Amino acid sequence: MPASERLSGIFSPVVMPFKPNLEVDADRLIRQCRWLLGQGVGIAVFGTNSEANSLSVGEKIDLLDRLVDAGIDPSRLLPGTGLCAIPDTLRLTRHAVKLGCCGVLMLPPFYYKDVSDQGLFRSFAEIIERADNEQLRIILYHIPPVSQIALSIPLIERLIEAYPRTIAGIKDSSGDWANTSAMLDAGWSDFSIFSGSENFLLQTLQKGGAGCISATANINPAAIHYLYLHWQGPDAEALQQRLVAIRNCVQHFPVIPALKSIVAHYSADSSWDRVRPPLVELTEEQRNNLLSELEQVGFSMSGLAENA
């Protein structure tokens, strides 16, 4: 892949709004995606914090169509398409490519544990070979704290060697800077390495990384994007510490309900609090404590209420 095509920047795994009957609220999702795009970030729809594995393949395909039909630029969309069944992954991936999405974020099949690198290689290879599309760009999704499936450096190297144009990058949500650093040191040419948290954004960029795909880009997108643009500036370290302080507030609580409570509060729209089971909303005490912590670090989400 030419360097000019390398995926980079900040992406938000946008939180998913639900109606009282727990159907997806596509209109609210479209408005939220427009707001996020206006803050400078791309949309990693169907990421972990989109409650992606609580959505059906049919719902995801319909939502991608609704987003694009509403004028959301597909080149700013990085949908999560990795599922346990190869046919499901293939169906969603093909649709994303057809719509012109900039790439797909692909989990490994995560139900069976202790699978071999050979099994994982075969799984990704089946998708790539069956998709048979030169436009397909895969960002591997490494999140062993949740998936319990690790993508080893030898496996990544083998995939890059076999499919150098298609295997375009990785999101490292291991939470382990040493792991991200090892990937950055591997010397994979034109390969986009995204940290899974803005806590590591400055370090990632300093070592040649592509940016981050972060849960808290839902609530602090402009500031994270600003550091991405100005990481070589004299105040970069101070900007980084500010991002860490805000993220730390969120991480004191269950992250997905916390993000949705923040969006609900600053948009003055309580509908955003809803989650699909098995997740549960924050308690009133948790919500108040979260908002208090954010207030103490001077956090705000300007313009969100006007967008609601």
Quote the tokens at residue 126.
């089946």
pLDDT score at 3: 40
pLDDT of 306: 61
Q: Which tokens sit at 211?
A: 């940016």
- HSE-up of residue 290 (Cα within 13 Å, Cβ side): 25
Q: Are the C-beta atoms of 80 and 265 separated by less than 8 Å? A: no
Enumerate residue ranges in the chain where pLDDT < 50: 1-4
Domains of the chain: 3-232 (3.20.20.70)
| Cα–Cα dist 207/181, whole Å | 8
Question: Quick one: how far is CA 278 from the chain centroid?
Answer: 21
- 3 state SS of 253: coil
For residues 123 and 264, what is the distance between their CA atoms, to the nearest angstrom? Answer: 39
**Residue 8 pLDDT:** 97
231-240 burial code (b ≥16 CB/10 A, e <16): beeeebeebb
Task: Return the SS3 of 142.
Answer: strand
Residue 128: the pLDDT is: 98
What is the predicted pLDDT for the residue at 2? Answer: 39
Give the ranges where the chain is alpha helix by DSSP (H): 26-38, 57-69, 86-99, 117-131, 144-147, 153-162, 177-185, 201-206, 221-229, 236-251, 255-267, 284-296, 304-307
Which tokens is 159 given?
């995939």
Closest CA to 76 of 138, 8, 129: 8
pLDDT confidence of residue 4:
46
